[in-house]
Structure 1
Amino acid sequence: MVNPHVLILPYPVQGHVIPMMELAQSLAEHGFKITFVNTDASHERIVNALAERDALGEYIHMVSISDGMETWEDRNAPGKLSKAMASVMPGKVEELIQEINKSESDKITCMIADQSLSWAMEFGKKVGIKRAAFLPAAATLRILGFRIQQLIDDGIIDKDGNLLKKQMIQLSPSIPAMKTTDFVWLRTGSSTMQKIIFESMVRSNDGVKLADWLICNSTYNLEPDAFTSSPEIIPIGPLLASHRLGYQAGHFWPEDSTCLKWLDQQPPNSVIYIAFGSLTIFNRTQFQELALGLELTNRPFLWVVRADFIDAIEDAYPDGFIDRVGTRGQMVGWAPQQKVLSHPSVACFLSHCGWNSTMEGLSNGIPFLCWPYFADQFFNQSYICDVWKVGLGFQKDERGIITRGEIQNKVQQLLGHDMYRARALELKEVTLRSVSEGGTSYKNFNNFITWLKA
């Protein structure tokens, strides 16, 4: 029997690409042939960032298609990329599948697409191939999407997603309460982005109904009430390269592995690791307060400072900061995060609370300092601090700034109480059991494989 050929289609931002690349590598280990479809713009960055060119092996073939935008256009401009993708990519994917299917022995048998790409499920149904939607976020966020009409009927939001009532709500009786101000589309920074994400979530409600499977990069033990409430969402995570003992791919920036040697020289459980993902941007004032706060802790720290993290990065650090912290502080453009978080010298993770970072921190037993920036990250913070109780958040001052003193105090508070580390280590065992033989995610993933091969 010929091994199934699966086409995988992520949304073209790093936080969505990485878990789907991990899914691809997990499927490849079971003999599946994978065609992994990136946009031209993201494909170039991913290939350039791959430290090991043959890391993906013989079963994963990376291809790229146009996202509908010119190379010089700004893909960060609100709405432009989503609009261009929706108009151009369905036709490009159809052309790609038609080309691949000219081979009688190598036809695409299944499409796995990011759940936000509702048009992909529509197209998959049209051409008659198996379809799976992939959720790279918390299951509760998909349930929020399912409940949008109910929220409108209850007068909590209007038909455009605008908030009418500030309150705590429960999406179902068993799901922990959430703030209405933390609805994903309301935490996007602009009315344009709010409209785009709200409309995308509404469309996704229809798209996922066309999927044969709705799989999620989470685990039952972390969100039991969500998965009980919506059993159609199937947890198969956390999808991490460390669980496969394999190589992580999908980064948009080359990793600086020299920081691992620096970590080797630090005492156990001493280092603050700071990373804000691929999208967070700081103004100069906040950047300097963070730097000075790290300095005040008197602890070693590893800080990921992307080239686009702040304008004019070369002179953004406070005067004398680099000299004063000396070898106690290590700044890198991008880090091999899973390897960093598994290092025994790391004491805590100061994070933007993206879902991938959340899963990586939990899977390594690391407590969090939460600094959310965008969309679902605010809800993820509530999971970390209020439900799982493995972290602390920061309070902003009257200017909206998290001050150096607040940073120093929260570091002391988190690392001065063993309960956060102890609880984090408990959840590490929980997540490890879920992906180990006999665990819920392990069983679900194997059932998924059986369905793909049927």
Structure 2
Amino acid sequence: MAARRSENPHAIFIPFPLQGHLIPSVLLATKLASKGFTITFVNTESIHHSIAKSLATPDDDIFTKARKAGLDIRYTTVSDGLPVGFDRSLNHDQFMECLLHVSSAHVDELVGNLIKHDPSISCLITDSFHVWPLMISEKYKLVNISFWTEPALILNLYYHLDLLKKNGHYDPLDKCDDIIDYIPGVKSIKPKDTMSYIQATDTDTVSHRIIHKALFGGTKSADFVVCNTIQELEPHTLLSLNQTQPFYAIGPIFPNEFTQELVSTSLWSQQDCSSWLDNKPIKSVLYVSFGSYAHTTKHVLSEIACGLLESGISFVWALRPDIVSSNDTALPLGFEEQVKDQGLIVPWCNQKAVLSHPSIGGFLTHCGWNSVLESIWCEVPMICFPLLTDQFTNRKLVVDDWKIGINLCEGDLVKREEVTNKFKDLMNGEKSQEMRIEIKKTKRTLENALAKGGSSQRNFDQFVDEVKVKIDQMK
């Protein structure tokens, strides 16, 4: 086995094929490469095709610029089992079934070929939601590193599905109003603040099967877990997780220059909003985006649109063409004409560039974890409207724990009158200044964690050192 090792670790890195998972994976890959790792990064053919299509000058290798900066990152693609042109967003279950049953064979073949041509490969870094890493890492005798892209709280809740089930909080959810206060590392949480998969009445979906197989058949057996979170924001949860396996909080994983990235991860062409924003007063504009994957209804979008119109607040709205369906008009008839002097509606944009613009004063968000971290970094308070999976739990952290956001609606229905009032509250209301003070404090926590000697920097360095030790042990 000694012939398979080299002085600098060589890792195959395979992200989960959704943009919200791809973004931190690319950033972690470049961060590891800057520490001397050789990285072979593997995108699905579909993800690669979407990125290439979004670029003005398509590139067969998205890491070309990173290599010019001196990073040893190689790049290749693998099939996920579906044709490149298949609409994965609108055929979610079919897509997930392929990731569950078909993709492992393609990955197995790829990893085998990579190792055959380069025996220095010693590590496998994969998103925690993949179902095959344990099998692949054992077969090829690779150090198994799992990358958790969401808050540690969420992984901890998933790890204790047995306790949730025993207490009537999962499969089935019988006790909807009882506080959950028996999970190690979690002081308390309401059932409505757990992930959508825990709240579901049908727990035999393909997504549930992926979660069970990935986490209990894989991530729990990983040699190391790295997490895009911050020690000081989740201390009790991280302490609990560290008692079960080596777990490292290394977030937020951002590039050195927040808005300057070496690698494109956008699946759509990005419209530049800077010239429009340049003409707006400081902190006067509300940014609206529901992320890269989740869907909502025409009714919800209509109520939000009417709320925006009635509030009179300037806004930038990144509205994906497929947020309702591929061929359905999402906004009320005539809305864009009505708000042409008030708002800018674009199919997609560079979110970091928008959030970091001085004119942005608030963010209506679905509470995806990347969006939450980016909003904190830019000191932009949030209006929270979670749509699925981890977003409900992220909302709890933002609104209830850290006090840096408010809810879009307090009940189950989105009503334009409430939407209007919440927009005004966030931008100019009594709570606005309080949230801006709190989010400055939270931003400082992130900065301190990333600074020299900070918790994330120490954890990252320790992780790298221990991976090297593990590699030597496997020789």
Aligned to 1:274: 288
CA contact (8 A) 1:349 1:368 kept: yes
- Extract unaligned runs of 5+ from structure 1: none
Aligned to 1:56: 66
Provide TM-score, normalisation by structure 2: 0.87
Task: Give the whole-Å Cα distance in 2 for the aligned partners of 1:329 and 1:60.
Answer: 41
Read off the aligned partner of 2:269 and give its amino acid letter: P
Secondary structure class of the residue paired with 2:341: helix
Mapped pair 1:34 → 2:39: yes
Task: Give the whole-Å Cα distance in 1 for the aligned partners of 2:34 and 2:83.
Answer: 36
Task: Give the whole-Å Cα distance in 2 for the aligned partners of 1:185 and 1:35.
Answer: 34
Work out which of the residue numbers 212, 222, 225 in structure 2 matches 1:202.
Answer: 212
Mapped pair 1:428 → 2:443: yes
Aligned to 1:12: 17
Aligned to 1:380: 394
Secondary structure class of the residue paired with 1:56: helix
Work out which of the residue numbers 383, 400, 407 in structure 1 matches 2:419.
Answer: 407
Question: How does 1:201-240 map onto structure 2 within 5 Å?
Answer: 201-203=211-213, 204-231=215-242, 232=245, 233-240=247-254
* Shift, 1:73, TM fit: 4.5
Q: Deviations over 1:152-191 (max 9, x none)?
A: 233433xxx3312212202536524222244324378883
Deviates more, 1:7-16 or 1:92-101: 92-101
Mapped pair 1:321 → 2:335: yes
* Shift, 1:386, TM fit: 0.4
Cα distance change on mapping 1:315 and 1:151 into 2, 3 Å: closer
CA contact (8 A) 2:173 2:201 kept: no
Read off the aligned partner of 1:57 and give its amino acid letter: R
Q: Deviations over 1:229-287 (max 9, x none)?
A: 2224311111123556740532211221x202222221111110001001232322222
Work out which of the residue numbers 322, 339, 342 in structure 1 matches 2:353.
Answer: 339
Cα distance change on mapping 1:89 and 1:189 into 2, 3 Å: same
Secondary structure class of the residue paired with 2:107: helix
Mapped pair 1:165 → 2:175: yes
Aligned to 2:81: 68
- Work out the percentage of aligned pairs sharing the same amino acid: 31
Cα distance change on mapping 1:223 and 1:171 into 2, 3 Å: farther
Secondary structure class of the residue paired with 1:237: coil
Task: Give the whole-Å Cα distance in 2 for the aligned partners of 1:357 and 1:245.
Answer: 14
CA contact (8 A) 1:280 1:373 kept: yes
Task: Give the whole-Å Cα distance in 1 for the aligned partners of 2:309 and 2:65.
Answer: 38
Aligned to 1:108: 121
CA contact (8 A) 2:157 2:183 kept: no
Secondary structure class of the residue paired with 2:65: coil
Aligned to 1:136: 149
* Shift, 1:365, TM fit: 1.3
* Shift, 1:312, TM fit: 7.3
* Shift, 1:81, TM fit: 2.2
Task: Give the whole-Å Cα distance in 1 for the aligned partners of 2:9 and 2:417.
Answer: 56
Read off the aligned partner of 2:112 and give its amino acid letter: Q
Deviates more, 1:436-445 or 1:28-37: 28-37
Aligned to 2:3: none
Task: Give the whole-Å Cα distance in 2 for the aligned partners of 1:191 and 1:184.
Answer: 14
Task: Give the whole-Å Cα distance in 2 for the aligned partners of 1:293 and 1:270.
Answer: 16
Cα RMSD (Å) of the superposition? Answer: 2.4
* Shift, 1:18, TM fit: 1.1
CA contact (8 A) 1:147 1:171 kept: no
Secondary structure class of the residue paired with 1:178: coil
Provide TM-score, normalisation by structure 1: 0.91
Cα distance change on mapping 1:351 and 1:185 into 2, 3 Å: closer
CA contact (8 A) 1:145 1:205 kept: no
Between the two proteins, the alignment pairs up a number of residues equal to 446
Task: Give the whole-Å Cα distance in 2 for the aligned partners of 1:150 and 1:314.
Answer: 43
Deviates more, 1:55-64 or 1:136-145: 55-64
* Shift, 1:33, TM fit: 2.1
Q: Deviations over 1:291-325 (max 9, x none)?
A: 12112222211100111123477854334432332
- Extract unaligned runs of 5+ from structure 2: 1-5, 470-475
